[in-house]
A and B are shown apart, each in its own frame.
Chain A
Amino acid sequence: MKSALEAIGALATGFATTFKHLFRKPITEEYPEYRRPLPERSRAVIVLTRDPDGGERCVACYLCSAACPVSCISMQSAEREDGRRYARWFRINFARCIYCGLCEEACPTSAIQLTPYFETCERDILKLVYEKEDLLVEHSGKDKEYNFYKYAGVVTEVGDKGAHEREEKPVKIKSNLP
């Protein structure tokens, strides 16, 4: 008898809990009707950003492609007329990317950055292979300041020898005077 009462009691509490929730405000967000803003640091689709002056940041150094554990980044570096090294083409195969973010960590110029945007489902896998024109954006992403060529010391339109950050004037090789 006692055990039967206990069972009924348990049932009643259970139903009561459920019943209570009928009158609460729901916390489920309706996707895709509602798209929750994700934190900046979340890792999804990758972009190639520009430096604050608008120049392409990526110098095609191959470090991201070397760091990528699934080898989904490929590119070809080349020299631009003004001496800047840049990517003639740059390809990421998002069908393979595991969004680990190692490329971003490896990048010495802050060019490659993961963004929170993740809605890239495609039926055709080839559409997940992004080329440089798909990756390049018009802003600086998370790093608003860095311009690699201001520090590198190589001659580009950003600066001549001795004109970069923390540089002395070039040595005069044919004179002993300072």
Chain B
Amino acid sequence: MPKLIIDDREIEVPAGTKVIEAAERLGIKIPRFCYHPGLGSVGACRVCAVKFLEGPFKGVQMSCMIDAKDGMVVSTTDEEAVNFRQYVIEWLMLNHPHDCPVCDEGGHCLLQDMTVSGGHGIRRYLGLKRTYHDQYLGPLVQHEMNRCIHCYRCSRFYQEFTGYHDLGVMQIGSRTFFGRYQDGTLESPFAGNLSDICPTGVYTDKPSRFFGRRWDYQRSPSICINCSLGCHTVASGRYREVVRQEARYSEAVNGYFICDRGRYGFFYTSNEERPRQALVDGKEVSYDQAIREAREKLGELIKSTGPDAVACVSSERSSLETQAMLKKICQTKGWQGPHYFLDESMAQKVKSASSRLESGLAVSLRELESADFILVIGADPVNEAPMLALAMRQAQRRGGKIAVIDPRPVSLPFEFHHLNVTPNEVNLCASLLVKTAVDLGAATDLEQPGIEFYQAIPKLETVSSSLQEQIAKVAQELKESKRPIIVCGTETVRQTTPALAADHALLLQATNKQAGLFYLLPGANSFSASLLASEDGSFLETLEGIENGTIKGLILVERDLLLHFHDRQRMELAFEKLELLVVLDYVNSRTQQRAHIFLPTSTLYEAGGIFITQEGRLQVVPRAHLSGTPIAQVSGGNHPPRIYESEIPGGEPRPGWQALAELVHEEPQPDENTTRSSVLNGLSELNPAFATIPAIDELPEDGMRVSSPEESSPRFSLDWIHELERKESPDKSLELVLVNWTFSTEELSQYSPPLMKLEKEAAVFMHVDDATSLGLSDSDKVTILLDRGALEASVSVKENMAPGIIVMPRHRLLEWQKIETLPKFVSHEEIKKVSV
């Protein structure tokens, strides 16, 4: 640990720390442009100059390039260094345009700050300025190349950090240009970060273009709920709407960056069509009246048929408070549910994932970056949880090896082994791989069931020889690794896979590897849903109850059944049978439009809330702004109204937990904060796992892990082997695999106009062999006959996927909800080419 003196103050830092960082720990911020803690140093801009007075280096040097060493004495205020920095700024400003007033970076621009603080106030150079033509870079990023100071942050981020190559550097010297070869939408799903990292205004945020200045924004820490990772964000609100979301540093979760789905997925909260008024039979009424009517009708229902004629369904995008409130209500009132998952097998998968995530195995997203081998079982990182791909990229850059076992045409921005086996073979392939890599003789303290589990894994010879070869090759890398981490998805895998992944991680751990385990879950709050989910009864049983008339009332909390359930027609018929459908939500979903009584709820930005990520990390989000129709919508774009009102227009929505409390209690309820605390205080009664969490305001910045409940599901179960035996799909038919895409499938981001522009055409993927035998070629149009009618889509023919399946995205524009039962198989006759 070198000790050095900076500006007369001593500090001790870990070896390898740069002087610029050491100074920052003392609270001294040395100017910088090219240096970024997430990207490292290159020494391109020369603005971080300081003077080294004693130690191994002497004189003016770049503080971002020099490691802190014992005995260094550094001055940041030495006249020579100060002058040096001032000249650097001046020459960086030679070509800088005179356009700060119309630049969106103005107000939080590093170049502005450095110019002013460096003391370069008056322009001395009167020559001509260099200019560039700008490019169209897609709907998210605006390009204004004149402002560039050639720090190379963008190209380093884009190419080295994220692994995409369509943006980079061209030309030389002062003509250096940063952009694409030609106009076009940026390919990287992390492109939005360019607006954050460019120290000037070359890349600015396009959706919030010309909306406001940083100093006017109400900035509030938030998290992203567009997938289960829960990346940290800062929400910028103004005039009652969130206008921009940026990445917020998190040591444990996302580091410095976020993905574009998360960055631009917030538009649902200020959607013009968002219902903000309570409705009874489609008519606008006051909130209290709607609640009174709902309570009366529920009362009548219960009086005539008993409390179990009412069922409740919530979702994975509701906050923990709302989920728990619903659970408590169901318990005390004797109502059915709540169901948080529609698919029982998914509920089981999430349950086994959350219960098998022991603290000895669980790793955070940041820890994943330190893996030297990552085995992905049944996940498609870029499409399911983009930031996972970015973390894997960092592991790969450090020399880590990556293998993905998944039937989909997985594509990642770096080199990896893809074992594109069929959905049925995923478990087997993963097991064979681990078995080949693990030498049981070297295993210390492996329990007996573990040994039996190992021995029960079939022989490598059970699979095709080409797969054997692939497995052997990957297994060798796994064998050599010291810190292997298993990433396991839940979307497309079999019910036994999450437990199997945990068992494999244990096997690896038993052979003295520092193994880790990382799950992906289907939604932002799936983990908490699975901690709360009741053991008895599935959503399907509730649906049957509605169909046979035993359930007459349904309460849906932030859940769009007509979007998520695989059989929309059946759902619609069930809705018709209901005597009472109460919907609480903050989006204008199809389901919301069917409600008899609708109660608007507040979004995450308006109410705050607790979300638990896929690794069990409980994170608290504060409210960013009050509920209310954005001023731009109230005034139709013109100036705000010239009248004063005591109530905020459109301010009716209430937090889900509060609306629920008011719905079931006759007597007036305390305010939302009191209700919230009482729900949170009662959490440990709902699941003992919550007993360990401290008071909400004592939680650390990065949240904390909820330790998995005592009775974790049994280790080393052999269920998956029995599953292997009874697989077999009907002959000559293709299994339909429903998947998610980065854009266009996730529920909340579907309301985002800029992300809609990034959506790819709804296409289904087929293996080249299947396509050939069907007589199809790439981008042919086909109709696929499902149980409830046909579906038209174009075909994308792929080699890097498993044969025997059709990969179908749950695309916003594809009516895939025509399936009677899952898993679904489609025969060759049911796929017809559409001739054009």
Contact = CB atoms under 8 A, between A and B. Distances in A.
Interface of A: 59-63, 65-66, 76-79, 85, 88-91, 108-109, 126, 129, 131-132, 148, 151-155, 161-162, 166-171, 173-174, 176
Contacts of A174: 170
Given A61-B101, A62-B213, A161-B131, A171 B639 contact: no
Nearest to A148: B101
A166 B129 contact: yes
A162 B97 CA distance: 11
A171 B175 contact: yes
B97 A153 contact: yes
Contact of B131 (A62, A63, A91, A169): A169
B212 A152 contact: no
B213 A59 contact: no
B239 interface: yes
Contacts of A148: 101
B642 A153 contact: no
15 contacts: A65-B216, A79-B210, A89-B635, A131-B639, A152-B101, A153-B129, A155-B134, A167-B128, A167-B129, A167-B131, A171-B131, A173-B132, A173-B133, A173-B175, A173-B177
Interface in B186-231: 209-213, 215-216
Interface of B: 97-102, 106-107, 126-134, 144, 146, 170-171, 175, 177, 179, 209-213, 215-216, 239, 632, 635, 637-640, 642
Nearest to B211: A77
Nearest first, the 7 A-B pairs at minimum CB distance are A153-B97, A89-B639, A61-B101, A152-B99, A85-B102, A173-B177, A62-B213
A44 B213 CA distance: 27
Given A61-B106, A89-B639, A166 B213 contact: no
B642 A171 contact: no
A91 B213 contact: no
Contacts of A155: 134
Nearest to B176: A171
Contacts of A161: 131-134, 146
Nearest to B216: A62
Contacts of B637: 88
A111 to B, nearest CB: 10
Contacts, number: 103
Nearest to A83: B102
B642 A154 contact: no
B131 to A, nearest CB: 5
B146 A62 contact: no
A152 B131 CA distance: 11
B210 A132 contact: no
A66 B213 CA distance: 9
A90 B638 CA distance: 9
A132 B635 CA distance: 14
Contacts of A62: 107, 212-213, 215-216
Contacts of A63: 101
Contacts of B100: 61, 108
A59 B210 CA distance: 10
A152 B171 contact: no
Nearest to A153: B97
A89 B638 contact: yes
Contacts of A89: 635, 638-640
A170 B132 CA distance: 5
A79 B129 contact: no
